[in-house]
Amino acid sequence: MAPFRVTLADVARRAGVSRTTASFVLSGRTDMRISPDAQRRVHEAAAELGYRPNQTARSLRTHVTRTIGLISDTIATTQFAGEVIHGALDTALERDYLLLVAETSGDPVAEKKLVDEMLDRQVDAVVYAMMYTKPGHPPGSLSGLPVVVLNGIEESFGGPRILPDELGGGRTAARALVDAGHRDGIYAIGGRHRTPEAPDGVYAGRLRMQGVDEVLADAGTSIAGAYECAWEPEHGYDGMLSLLDDGHRPKALVCLNDRLALGAYQAMQERGLRVPDDVSVVSFDDSDLASWLRPALTSVALPHYELGKTAVATLLDGTSERRLVAVPMPLRSRDSIRMVPATAG
Amino acid sequence: MAPFRVTLADVARRAGVSRTTASFVLSGRTDMRISPDAQRRVHEAAAELGYRPNQTARSLRTHVTRTIGLISDTIATTQFAGEVIHGALDTALERDYLLLVAETSGDPVAEKKLVDEMLDRQVDAVVYAMMYTKPGHPPGSLSGLPVVVLNGIEESFGGPRILPDELGGGRTAARALVDAGHRDGIYAIGGRHRTPEAPDGVYAGRLRMQGVDEVLADAGTSIAGAYECAWEPEHGYDGMLSLLDDGHRPKALVCLNDRLALGAYQAMQERGLRVPDDVSVVSFDDSDLASWLRPALTSVALPHYELGKTAVATLLDGTSERRLVAVPMPLRSRDSIRMVPATAG
DNA sequence: CCGTCTTGCTAAATCGAGTTAGCACGCTAA
DNA sequence: TTAGCGTGCTAACTCGATTTAGCAAGACGG
């Protein structure tokens, strides 16, 4: 069943040296005085036999598996996890690491089991990822192992936390509107997303809105109105209709994510409003949806891939003393914002 | 750095037996005659110390790692991979297996590297997944290991292949329309999706259309027209406009995936056609999009989760002689199909 | 009283690497 | 001639489990 594998002993035999010597040569230890000739013979034998060290055996001795655990609460929903895994894997593979991937589905029992399984396999380090910014911290059994938290906003966790720069993202979104000349009639849909657990609003909502407010203030204006609601398409639809029914006439819309923008598009289409001619729209996340909508949506991207890369890099470099790493959220400009003549302040 | 770990020797010492005896007891070998009293002491010691076997050490001896490699060409795009991983992981974890996840990005060099890394870590088996049904087979270095191919339509591969039952899915879609009373004016958008590589059409396209044709024929009717194109939103948009401009008046639409349906929705909205009052729509994939559209889209689901589960189960059961496993595509009924009075054949 | 069988256990080998301690040889210097 | 030293290499141990081979003590039969 298991394919035949060349061992170090095979290499040593063919090179006419001991296993010890072969090991020294192949692990590049210069402190052990091996003649150039013997080195050459070992390297040749290894190349000819296509030798690759058995990582399991090596791990037993060295306690290093070159394997990182990636634990997330949810893999399935949205493309988030896919891109995070992709980024994490690329960075891991650059350094000959591999990823054990698992998800807890938010279930502590499942989490315990899967953390135990990872510990049994001696993972070197763990990325503990949450699919959106929220409280949460790795279980105690992971203490003693290098861990970074991705998207965790619980400050009690002592290790590095990797987060999207939501504040900067909010600024970027507002700047996109301001740069296009918008000053009046700028509305927000979604807002801070207050929930029973987060009465001040969800982390991303708070910071995005704060960034928007700052930039608008700098431009000598402010939000004309905000519709506070949850962040699914139906709420965007309801929110836009509600604004219009209340007599508001938005000229620009900040949708707190792309799904809300989809809902708002649907509502505007029903009411005969055209994007961007009547209403400019800027949004967040840059999901697939953004490029599918007509007109395509200008959106401030969640840097999933970069988050994954940064998480693994932070683990493997280890030198970073930073406890909080904010990853920039870049603007993806498309067709949903119209240039308008700037109005005098 | 590495957390303190209890070893088998610790357990044996505390139970007052040899490591050999402890090993026999804990691995439940009944052929070795251990007294009930000794068994009890070993179990107690293990429980009290919280002993868990070091899987690395065990693997070195047994050549079994209880770890499965999941290699896919693309993880990021669509939710496909996320759900596949989810299903695969659930089934793996049930049996105390874990998943090493990696993606090739379609790059043979990356693929070689990552396959080598997996082999170095002695994975027990591999799921070789493609994100949509297409040709492709695992590299030769994986021969000698149990491998299943997910979504691969290359028949030359000798092992089990797991595929969505596209033919059945096509039938299901058509039946949804027929059951609602539709007989005339049934159009398809997307069609077989012929490409230079697949002049007869993409695998999914061919089989879905075949299933549709069969059911319509059984109902004494047939497709009124099909717009052949690629499967992105813009093509759905163009396709629908093109049909209307050519004087067609569809009463029902089979969109070969949800993104095409999104495009078709956009076109219909521009032309003042209403779903489902003027046009019923059925689609494939059941992506997030399907539930976001207004009205929500009835769609034949790609069973991603089940595909992942089935792939791992097939690997671990090993007994299945089936070379081809077709996983059913269930209908997700929503609001895009209207009941119409059946016309006499 | 001796040989044989069963019961209940353990010493030692093994997996495939990495690592420590030290040996044999030749050269130099006293 | 012999101690001392550097060079170039290897024997043996280690990691933490599994597994093979076999030992000691008691029971039993003749």
Instruction: State whether residue A345 is helix, strand or coil.
Output: coil
Asked whether residue B81 falls in the same domain as residue B229, the answer is: no
Nearest CA in chain A to B72: A86
Asked whether residue B108 falls in the same domain as residue B132, the answer is: yes
Residues in B touching A289 (Cβ below 8 Å): 289, 292
CA distance B163 to B132: 10
Chain D positions with an atom below 7 A of a protein C-beta are: 7-12, 14-21
Nearest CA in chain A to B260: A292
- Structure token pair of residue B144: 């000698």
How many domains does chain A fold into? 3
The pLDDT assigned to B33 comes to 86
Q: Would residue B212 count as lying in a domain?
A: yes
Asked whether residue A249 falls in the same domain as residue A323, the answer is: no
Residue located via tokens 């090493």: B100
How far lies B110's CA from each of A56, A90, A143, B117, B285, in Å? 22, 10, 33, 11, 29
Is pLDDT above 70 for B77?
A: no
Residue type, A316: L
Q: Would residue A20 count as lying in a domain?
A: yes
Residues 6+ apart with CB under 8 A from A35: none
Residues 6+ apart with CB under 8 A from A277: A338
CB A20 under 7 Å to nucleic chain D: yes
CA distance B13 to B22: 9
Q: Would residue A230 count as lying in a domain?
A: yes
Q: Domain residues for B38?
A: 8-53
Contact yes or no for B78 and A75 at CB 8 A: no
For residue A28, give the CATH number of its domain. 1.10.260.40
Asked whether residue B234 falls in the same domain as residue B319, the answer is: no
What is the spatial distance, in angstroms and rounded to an integer, between the CA atom of B32 and the C1' atom of C2? 29
Asked whether residue B187 falls in the same domain as residue B269, the answer is: yes
- Structure token pair of residue B308: 């992942």
Asked whether residue B157 falls in the same domain as residue B170, the answer is: no
**Please, which residues bridge with residue A253 across strands?**
A187, A281
Asked whether residue B193 falls in the same domain as residue B285, the answer is: yes
CA distance A294 to B220: 38
Asked whether residue A184 falls in the same domain as residue A238, the answer is: yes
Average per-residue pLDDT in chain A? 93
Distance from CA of B170 to the nearest CA of A (A): 25
The pLDDT assigned to B322 comes to 74
Looking at chain B, the whole-number percentage of residues with pLDDT higher than 70 is 96
Asked whether residue B46 falls in the same domain as residue B82, the answer is: no
Asked whether residue A158 falls in the same domain as residue A171, the answer is: no
Q: Dihedral angle at the C-alpha atoms of B221, B224, B226, B231, nearest 10 degrees?
A: -80
Residues in A touching B70 (Cβ below 8 Å): 101
What is the spatial distance, in angstroms and rounded to an integer, between the CA atom of A33 and the C1' atom of C28? 20
CB B76 under 7 Å to nucleic chain D: no
CA distance B15 to B33: 17
Q: Lowest mean pLDDT: which of A130-134, B138-142, B183-187?
A: A130-134
Task: Please give, one letter per residue, the 3-state secondary structure of B178-241.
Answer: HHCCCCCCEEEEECCCCCCCCCCCCHHHHHHHHHHHHHHHHCCCCCCEEEECCCCHHHHHHHHH
Render pLDDT for B258-305 as a digit per residue (tens, 0 to 9).
Answer: 999 999 999 999 999 999 999 999 999 999 899 999 999 999 999 999
Q: Would residue B257 count as lying in a domain?
A: yes
CA distance A250 to A228: 15
Asked whether residue B145 falls in the same domain as residue B171, the answer is: no
CB A21 under 7 Å to nucleic chain D: yes
The pLDDT assigned to B149 comes to 95
Render pLDDT for B192-246 as a digit per residue (tens, 0 to 9).
Answer: 999 888 888 999 999 999 999 999 999 999 999 999 999 999 999 999 999 999 9
Nearest CA in chain B to A102: B89
Name the band, by pLDDT with cuts 50, 70 and 90, for residue A320: low
CB B133 within 8 A of CB B163: yes
